[in-house]
Amino acid sequence: MAGHNHAPTIADVAKRAGVSIATVSRVVNGNTPVIDETAKRVRSAISDLHYHPRAAARVLASRRTDTLGLLLPEIGGEFFSPLLRGIESEARLAGYDLLVHATSHIPHASTPAPHRPLAEHNTDGLIVFTQSIDLDELARLHRNKFPLVLLYQTPPAKTEIPSVMIENKSGAQKLVNHLIEVHGRRRIAFLRGPDGNEDSVERERGYRAALKSHGLAFDPALIGVGGFNEEDGQAAVRKLMADRVDFDAIVAGDDDSAIGALHALKLAGRRVPDEVAVTGFDDLPVARYISPALTTVRAPIEQIGREAVRKLTGLIRGQPAGGRALMRTELVIRESCGCSPDRASPDADSATRR
Amino acid sequence: MAGHNHAPTIADVAKRAGVSIATVSRVVNGNTPVIDETAKRVRSAISDLHYHPRAAARVLASRRTDTLGLLLPEIGGEFFSPLLRGIESEARLAGYDLLVHATSHIPHASTPAPHRPLAEHNTDGLIVFTQSIDLDELARLHRNKFPLVLLYQTPPAKTEIPSVMIENKSGAQKLVNHLIEVHGRRRIAFLRGPDGNEDSVERERGYRAALKSHGLAFDPALIGVGGFNEEDGQAAVRKLMADRVDFDAIVAGDDDSAIGALHALKLAGRRVPDEVAVTGFDDLPVARYISPALTTVRAPIEQIGREAVRKLTGLIRGQPAGGRALMRTELVIRESCGCSPDRASPDADSATRR
DNA sequence: ATGAAAGCGCTAACAG
DNA sequence: CTGTTAGCGCTTTCAT
């Protein structure tokens, strides 16, 4: 057993192969022709020595990090896992590493942010999820031509930051259309999400558009605040009933609040879907299991992640921005809308878990 | 508007503050005393210039990456999100970035792995999830004294790699004890997970221990293969019935297979829990929603992630290894075991999603 | 307390 | 095709 005890560097390899470090670099990166014979010697030196290039040295010299950054708000939720899977694997495919940062709260614009965890200094580009970064910082990065892609978020006015979002509006619209056309509902309540949430705003837009297109008037009394969680969904419906609002359907802002709504209805002895139809949004795994099974809307979450990465790597390569991508959403008919289990589309989910 | 168009370096700051780059470095890192007056000048130069240190240069010079690596198998599953949340936030807390890599398949030991995506060259330590890396590579890293923590995985023989796992055995044991003692079941089937899965092995051990301690013989006929997914769970139970095996309870290897089991039972017209009690393992969000609500076992997933990070950062700081951590699991009594909804422990879940 | 200077390990011109 | 040689931007002795 000979040699230094420390990790081998490119120089060690060069010496052992009897070539210059430049040649080793060329072999490793495969971007410049090297005589086969030489390359072979280099390669065996590499494997003999267990040589692995230091990422930092490469980055420093090449000014590329080969790393993508993902900025998220506090992580949670069942759609998070497919999203990350999509992003991670697509990034990998494109030859990038993935640095993940979850902001525990939206930073106040005030502090000069002494330590930005993810930015130009350690990534080649950023995927920015809703509410994970303040807009000033976003604008600054964009101004500096730093590659950025927004997820589930409309680009701030004036900036042309590319983004990937889902068809919230048309998704909600399809839901309401179904309720009206197939099940003849006319007093349809809508449960909003958290204040200022874009998804919620768009979904409500879809809800209103559907009403309008069927000649149904919008009634503010039918609006509740579901908050995108079970408790709020339940409370919202309880309030609706307490207020003696007349409704024969509830379009919840998301699946979680739909579950809350279902619960409130059950406690009040209102039968679903006979007396009240209920729909969600997201198609969480739970949606299939609750009873009645939840009619909802599904977005291709994993693909959204992939698309975001593709846009970002495109930007990094200097390709034209690409603008806004709207990912199609799909109606998932189950039972809570009033459709019979049979009529319900066969569950194509072969949801693989773990 | 003056100045270079490029990102400012430490030299720019030094010049503007009228000090040497060494002093700037000291102010930035705050590890060496600097006269207050000087420090102030430096700091304002920093913020004037919007200076942010290049991560790579720092790493190269300091030989520390301040980055933790997380190695996972193909991501998915609902327990994944709390796990990542725990890891990410604890890492952040300790001042580390998090690099994530999901291996799409267990690499064959054969290939010399030209490009290890996560290792010494870009991280200070690694959290290694079950089946995300081959054992040779693991051994090599460990031999080189590279900080490593295993997740949901027993350290390979002879190595003393610290690990964090859950109390699978006692969890399963509690479940079976409950079934026997409270519900008087004596023909309890067990549904195994995927072949070679450690969690499954341990759970089966718990199952057997519980039988034994109650003087019940182990009957191989009562063992099915649930595969930790719904389809296999369903198939396993179908097979049990086809084989005319007599059973009054099913202890599924995890919640997913329990759901499959429930389904098979329902299709066969066997009433749960009256005729057959069913239990799961994991306490996925779904467990509360299916009917009957699933009695299962819960592990503190987020804490597991945190614990792993704490162990790892300890190692990096040169603290003693710390050995194996077994995270306590908790019985979650619901209805599928035969307990009434009332008797069931109040659901403390205020599961926050999204 | 501060500055000068030597690297950290690699890439990318530039010569040849 | 290959070697030489500047840096990349920062940390860290070593002086002072």
| B317-333 tens-digit pLDDT | 988 877 899 999 999 99
Identify the pLDDT of residue B103.
81
Amino acid B47 CA to nucleotide C5 C1' distance, rounded Å: 27
Q: Give the whole-number percent of chain B exceeding pLDDT 70.
A: 91
What sign for the dihedral angle of Cα B148, B151, B156, B158?
A: positive
Characterize the bridge pairing of strands B330-332 and B296-298: antiparallel
- Give me the mean pLDDT over the A78-87 stretch: 88
Look at residue B1 and tell me whether its pLDDT is greater than 60: no
Amino acid A288 CA to nucleotide D2 C1' distance, rounded Å: 64
Question: Which residue among B84, B229, B286 places its CB closest to the CB of A352?
Answer: B229
Amino acid A51 CA to nucleotide D4 C1' distance, rounded Å: 23
The 3-state secondary structure of A6-69 reads CCCCHHHHHHHHCCCHHHHHHHHHCCCCCCHHHHHHHHHHHHHHCCCCCHHHHHHHHCCCCEEE
Distance CA B172, CA B178 (A): 10
Amino acid A127 CA to nucleotide D4 C1' distance, rounded Å: 40
The answer to whether A99 contacts B98, with C-beta atoms less than 8 Å apart, is yes
Q: Which residues of A touch B77 (CB under 8 A)?
A: 81, 353-354
Chain C bases near protein Cβ (<7 Å): 1-5, 7-13
| Residues in CB range of B96: below 8 A, 6 or more apart | B66, B67, B68, B124, B309, B313
Distance CA B227, CA A236 (A): 40
Q: Which residues of B touch A112 (CB under 8 A)?
A: 47
Identify the pLDDT of residue B5.
58
Characterize the bridge pairing of strands A330-332 and A296-298: antiparallel
The answer to whether A353 contacts B84, with C-beta atoms less than 8 Å apart, is no
What would the pLDDT profile of A159-197 be if each residue is shown by its tens digit?
889 999 999 999 999 999 999 999 999 999 999 999 988
- Among B73, B79, B71, B53, CA closest to B123: B71
The answer to whether B259 contacts A100, with C-beta atoms less than 8 Å apart, is no
The amino acid sitting at B224 is G
Q: Which of A38-47, A148-157, B104-113, B266-275 has the lowest mean pLDDT?
A: B104-113
What would the pLDDT profile of A254-281 be if each residue is shown by its tens digit?
999 999 999 999 999 999 999 999 999 9
Q: Give the whole-number percent of chain B exceeding pLDDT 90.
A: 71
Identify the pLDDT of residue B160.
86
Confidence of residue A155 (pLDDT cuts 50, 70, 90): confident
The answer to whether B80 contacts A77, with C-beta atoms less than 8 Å apart, is no
Chain B residues 41-60 with CB within 8 Å of chain A? 47, 52-57, 59-60
Identify the pLDDT of residue A109.
40
Q: Strand runs (DSSP E) across chain A, as ranges?
A: 67-73, 97-103, 125-129, 148-151, 163-166, 188-192, 223-225, 249-252, 277-279, 296-298, 324-327, 330-332
What would the pLDDT profile of A287-308 be if each residue is shown by its tens digit?
988 889 999 999 999 999 999 9
Look at residue B108 and tell me whether its pLDDT is greater than 60: no
Q: Considering only CA atoms, which residue is closest to the C1' of nucleotide C3? A: B20
What would the pLDDT profile of B8-36 be if each residue is shown by its tens digit?
999 999 999 999 999 999 999 998 999 99
Choice between B262 and A136, residue whose per-residue pLDDT is larger: B262
Look at residue A334 and tell me whether its pLDDT is greater than 80: yes
Look at residue A130 and tell me whether its pLDDT is greater than 90: no
